[in-house]
Amino acid sequence: MGNTQASNAILAKARAMYGRRLTARNYQELLNCRDLPDLISYLKTRTAYSEALQAANPAITHRAQLEALLRLNLFEQYASLCRYEMNIGHDFYRYFIIRSEVQAINTRLQELHAPGDDVSIYTMPEFIKKHSCLNLNAMSAAKNFKMLVLALEGTPYAKVLQPFADDPEFALENSGMLELEAALDSFVNTQVEQIADTKLKGKSKEEMLYLLRRQSDLRAIADIYRLKSVLHADRAFIKKRVSLSVSNMHQRQLDSLMDAQDAQDVIHRLVNTPYASEFYGASFDYIEEGVQKIDYRWHLKKLRFSTNPSVVLFCYIFLAENELTNIVHIIEGVRYGLAPDDIATMLVGVGD
């Protein structure tokens, strides 16, 4: 398949997959579901999730099992688009493999941080597993953080985590998990920026780098806001616990955000960043909600109008993940008996 043909295939496939998204009516009917079995039955019979949930028995499938099936379906979409992307030689399929690996590591870290009765063996689509460097069974067998780092020996992630394992003062408790997540995020961001820097040229490269740095920046803004709000954290604390490895902002702009007096001051200081116009006049109850709404509008516009296949691929994945987040909010809301109108306030992008 030639580059032009493969590029057109990615554009067409990503937009076609987006066309199978949940409609406003689907969302309303999901909000009206009485319980989890009712919700599973609806997803299986009335939406594009029917194939992904084929094995789900509404009478016995638990919430965690349902979410695992939905997330596996999302990874299958990654793999489906990656097969096309490999044909144009941009190598961004590697990002989805790295990201899947980091999610597997974070899942195991969370289990070690808050151990329960069950240890999961992280599930990956065959395409991603085929290209992965992780030994999932060894990771599942690890009983503590140091053993997990040993299970990662021979992978680039061991080098990322080894300094923490070697530090006698380090612990997963308190803010240790934040430090590990920031280090792994920085690794992912640096790797994908290198792919864009070496595989793309001209406007395509410029557009892709902006997207990648934007994703990192908006997560950093949310993290800084939260740390200021909850812990009144200073710059030194934040720098170790927020990934700032790639950015569309200058260092002085990043420093200004980290030096903000409080969470609201973080928002005020965005006036001096590339995101000033997007946050101007925005209102939200939670920073994650505000960032998600802002980011949703940007990715939707790019999906519809960009001619850069890699940008469209990343935008589709963002929008698919947003839909999964919406479904998880509905699952949780139905589980705890929240009113449909209350659940609806947590959803982003319904009806677009």
Q: What is the average per-residue pLDDT within 85-105?
A: 83
Residue with tokens 């030994």: 135
Who wins on pLDDT, 251 or 97?
251
Give me the pLDDT at residue 232, please: 96
Distances (CA, A) of 261 to 132, 180, 251, 256, 283: 43, 26, 18, 10, 20
pLDDT in tens, 173-225: 888 999 999 999 999 999 999 999 998 999 999 999 999 999 999 999 999 99
242 close to 207: Cβ distance less than 8 angstroms: no
Looking at residue 214, its pLDDT comes to 97
Q: What is the mean pLDDT of the chain?
A: 91
Give how far the C-alpha of residue 44 lies from the chain's centroid of Cα atoms, to the nearest Å. Answer: 24
Neighbours of 236 (CB within 10 A): 8
Largest CA distance in the chain: 55
Q: Which two tokens stand for residue 352?
A: 């677009």
pLDDT at 261 over 60: yes
| % pLDDT > 70, the chain | 96
Mean pLDDT of 166-174: 92
**Model confidence band, residue 162 (pLDDT cutoffs 50, 70, 90):** very high
Q: In whole angstroms, what separates CA 177 from the centre of its chain?
A: 17
Secondary structure element (H or E) that encloses residue 256, with its range: helix 251-258
Whole-angstrom distance, CA of residue 183 vs CA of residue 254: 17
- What's the rounded mean pLDDT across residues 218-236? 96
Q: Cα(80)–Cα(90) distance, rounded to whole angstroms?
A: 15
Average pLDDT on 321-345 reads: 95
Q: Write out the two tokens for 257.
A: 């955000």
* Spatial separation of the C-alpha atoms in residues 152 and 105, rounded to whole Å: 9
Task: Determine which helix (DSSP H) or strand (DSSP E) holds 350, and give its type and residue range.
Answer: none
- Higher-confidence residue: 218 or 91? 218
Are 274 and 174 in contact by the 8 Å Cβ rule? The answer is: no
pLDDT for the residue numbered 75: 82
Give the whole-angstrom CA distance, residue 154 versus residue 132.
12
pLDDT in tens, 14-25: 999 999 999 999
Q: Write out pLDDT tens, residues 27-80.
A: 999 999 999 999 999 999 999 999 999 989 999 999 888 988 998 888 888 877
pLDDT band, very low/low/confident/very high, at 1 (cuts 50, 70, 90):
very low
Q: pLDDT digits over 124-156, tens only?
A: 777 788 889 999 999 999 999 999 999 999 999
Please spell the DSSP secondary structure of 209-244, one letter per residue. HHHHHHHHHHHHHHHHHHHHHHH---HHHHHHHS--
pLDDT for residue 2: 47
At residue 117, the pLDDT reads 53
The token pair at 195 is: 């792919």
Residue 23 to residue 344: CA distance in whole angstroms? 14
Listed in order, strand segments (DSSP E) in 3-116 are: none
Is there a contact between 30 and 57 (Cβ–Cβ < 8 Å)? no
Lowest mean pLDDT among 57-66, 255-264, 320-329: 57-66
Q: Are 193 and 213 in contact (CB under 8 A)?
A: yes
